[in-house]
Amino acid sequence: MAAGGKRIAWVTGGGSGIGQAGAEALAADGWTVIVSGRRRNALDEVVRIIDARDGGRAEAVELDVSRSADVEAAAGRIVDRHGRIDLLVNSAGINVPKRSWEDMEIDGWDRLVDINLNGVLYCMRAVLPAMRAQRDGCIINVSSWAGRHVSKMPGPAYTTTKHAVLALTHSFNMDECVNGLRACCLSPAEVATPILKQRPVVPTAEEQARMLQPEDLGRTIAFVAAMPPHVCVNEILISPTWNRSFVAMAAHR
């Protein structure tokens, strides 16, 4: 932890969903949170929500994580302003409606790889110099249930990128543990976030109510971030109790 208790967290994809929930939970725990994303209006609203609470501190940085030079510049600005980066939450991610082998488009595949995988790597590399200098730092990479279990619905591009994020996280821990750094791969099953609107068949309101909620993941992110530096939570696989993949399996018995 930084001297005097100042803790700086950078949350990508912080304008909605899991990223927003993580930013709000971290701010409630006393972190200064920098939220980044492509939609400035959404980021400003998250900052407004956090700053309106007692002790909340947040800033917004408009950023497309698929642009490596922009990512490096954003990390540099955070360090210049705050002197450190203690936590990175890689929550930026997308999927596309055309996600089966039958209708998959190469442009869609490339965009998923650019954001869901390359963007994660770019951000991890961008915070490394500061974290290595501190000999302390935590990274939380938001993967997916699809990063552990292959199924048809998420599509090949999303499933592939999320499996890769899991491998990337573990390889980071293998190399950077000697520098006091640690990373967690957070793999949630269905979460009721705006990305569900990208599905070919959007789940009903009743179905979404039984899913994980963004605040569930926010609490999980805050839990990992609060662990002491000698603890590495390598991986968390989390699902709703009413897991639709399990329900479907039971229906076919």
pLDDT of the residue at 233: 98
Structure confidence at residue 139 as a pLDDT band (50, 70, 90) = very high
Conformation bin of residue 137: beta by default, left when phi > 0, alpha when psi is -120 to 50: left
Residue 8 backbone dihedrals phi, psi, to 5 degrees: -115, 120
CB 78 within 8 A of CB 34: yes
pLDDT of the residue at 247: 84
Count of CB atoms situated within 10 Å of the CB of 187: 23
pLDDT for 178-229, tens place per residue?
A: 999 999 999 999 999 988 887 888 899 999 999 999 999 999 999 999 999 9
pLDDT of the residue at 246: 87
Alpha carbons 118 and 38: distance in angstroms, whole number = 16
Alpha carbons 219 and 36: distance in angstroms, whole number = 19
Structure confidence at residue 6 as a pLDDT band (50, 70, 90) = confident
Conformation bin of residue 150: beta by default, left when phi > 0, alpha when psi is -120 to 50: beta
What is the CATH classification number for the domain harbouring 172? 3.40.50.720
In order, the DSSP letters of 180-213 are TEEEEEEEES-B-SGGGGGSSSPPPHHHHHTSB-
Print the domain residue range for 129.
3-251
pLDDT for 35-72, tens place per residue?
A: 999 999 999 999 999 999 978 899 999 999 999 999 99
Average pLDDT score, the chain:
95
Is it the case that residue 251 has pLDDT exceeding 70? no
Give 3's DSSP letter: G
pLDDT of the residue at 55: 83
State the total domains in the chain: 1
Kindly provide the residue ranges of all beta strands, DSSP E only, lying in the chain, ordered along the sequence.
8-12, 32-37, 57-62, 87-90, 137-142, 181-188, 235-238
Structure confidence at residue 3 as a pLDDT band (50, 70, 90) = very low
CB 100 within 8 A of CB 155: yes
pLDDT of the residue at 169: 98
Structure confidence at residue 243 as a pLDDT band (50, 70, 90) = very high
Q: pLDDT above 90 covers what percent of the chain?
A: 88
For residue 59, give the 3-state DSSP assignment.
strand
* pTM of the entire predicted model: 0.95
Q: Which residue has the tokens 């936590």?
A: 87
Count of CB atoms situated within 10 Å of the CB of 62: 15
Count of CB atoms situated within 10 Å of the CB of 243: 17
Residues marked as catalytic: 158
Measure CA 235 to chain center: 13
